[in-house]
Amino acid sequence: MKSMNAREWLQRLVAFDTTSRNSNLAMIEAIRDALASQGIQSELTYAPEGGKANLFATLPACDGATQGGIVLSGHTDVVPVDGQDWSSDPFSLTERDGRLYGRGTADMKGYIAVALALVPEFLALKRTKPLHLAFSYDEEVGCLGAPVMLEALARRGVRAEGCVVGEPTGMRVVVAHKGMNLYRCRVHGKAAHSSLTPRGCNAIEYAARLICRVRDLADEYRSRGPYDDCFDVPFTTMGTNLISGGIAVNTIPELCEFIYEFRNLPGMSPDGIQGRIEAYIQSELLPRMRREHDAARIEIEAMPAMVPALEASERDAITRLVRALTGDDGTSKVSYGTEGGLFQNAGIPAVICGPGHIEQAHRADEFVEIAQLDACEDFLRRLAGSLTD
């Protein structure tokens, strides 16, 4: 196969409509085949429900070594274009004024395109360490794909020394983001005619108490910290953003269901925060409900879309390397989640650095500047070059 440059790759990748609700297999298979034509095997790990896959591929060192080295990580899915007013077809790469427009150009097919375009160069380098490509599915709907890939890597005993997650940072180094935690809560009371309040147990009313408790905790984190002023919202946030309950105006509701979230600063344990909610339920709320109805209960279920926080250490080799290559010594921390925390938790230190800007992501007329792609190409070329000594 004729080798393609970054722009040609980006044109090809943007044309796959990998909106998270769709299959990403056509794109993954195109990448797999392109790598195979250069002698590189890919490991595909599939979503439990099928239709989607992650791709992991190792470009071995010159002595054939496959352990250690650096992972280049990107997600293949993109957010929907529904209801957005685009000036050109979002799935057809279009150049205007030094910019390349299309869904995913910034978030984050640009990074994947640059990495793929450089594969022939990466393979020609006399590297003493491997380079790995890790392309996931379903990042935009809560990082569902990456854990499947990381589990497979752990089973195979694959190790790496660092990971660069190429989310759009304008090629600056981002060293931290908050965690995202979502819980579904179901409060089970007892139904009765609404005129017979002593015979029922009102699930909505007890849900309301719990929701207010979440808000009280949120207020406490806001007023007492801990704080990290490198974030635009410098404290852990919590809130309830979805609720449903009850069946009729004249029936005491048996069930109320709501979903609350919290976004913890790195260094704060999500289990510790969740533990405070559970403690309130066990010590106050449930005993009070059970005085009205023996079988009252509250179920809490962690939802799959959980993104652990990232906090890169300045001592990690990958942080020092990416800082040296970009010349960026600033402390950038962002409020959006990435797969970086998952890699870090899997024992692979991670930083975030990629072409394009988050301000352009998820919007109509998403674009990446050609200059950003060029800067990324230069960065990845030098990053691979660092593996030769």
Footprint of Zn ion on 151-190 (CB under 5 A): 167
From the candidates 17, 107, 139, 328, give the one annotated as an active-site residue.
139
Give the separation between CA 306 and CA 240, rounded to whole angstroms.
16
Toward Zn ion, which CB reaches closer, 105 or 202?
105
Q: Is 139 a catalytic residue?
A: yes
Toward Zn ion, which CB reaches closer, 200 or 356?
356
Which DSSP helix (H) or strand (E) runs through 301?
strand 297-302
Instruction: Work out the angle at residue 363's Cα, subtended by the Cα atoms of residues 115 and 106, and round it to the nearest 5 degrees.
Output: 10
Footprint of Zn ion on 320-379 (CB under 5 A): none
Toward Zn ion, which CB reaches closer, 173 or 192?
173
Least Å from the CB of residue 145 to Zn ion? 12
Least Å from the CB of residue 290 to Zn ion? 45
Toward Zn ion, which CB reaches closer, 108 or 350?
108
Q: By CB under 5 A, how many residues form the interface with Zn ion? A: 3
Instruction: Work out the angle at residue 74's Cα, subtended by the Cα atoms of residues 71 and 76, and round it to the nearest 5 degrees.
Output: 140
Closest among 322, 354, 350, 353 to 109, alpha carbons compared: 354
Give the separation between CA 351 and CA 113, rounded to whole angstroms.
19
Peptide bond into 108 cis (omega under 30): yes
Choices 103-111, 208-216, 273-281, 297-305 (CB under 5 A): range interacting with Zn ion: 103-111
Least Å from the CB of residue 174 to Zn ion? 12
Least Å from the CB of residue 106 to Zn ion? 8
The residues, any chain, with a CB within 8 Å of residue 374's CB and separated by 6 or more, are: none
Binding Zn ion (rule: CB under 5 A), the pick from 17, 77, 107, 261 is 107
From the candidates 17, 77, 161, 369, give the one annotated as an active-site residue.
77
Which amino acid is residue 43, in one-letter code? E
Q: What is the largest CA-CA distance in the chain?
A: 81
Give the per-residue contact string, 288-327, with Zn ion (x = CB under 5 A; - = no).
Answer: ----------------------------------------
DSSP H stretches of helix in the chain:
6-14, 25-36, 110-124, 146-156, 203-224, 270-280, 286-290, 317-326, 340-345, 370-385
Least Å from the CB of residue 353 to Zn ion? 13
Active-site residues, by number, are: 77, 139
Site residues, Zn ion (CB under 5 A)? 107-108, 167
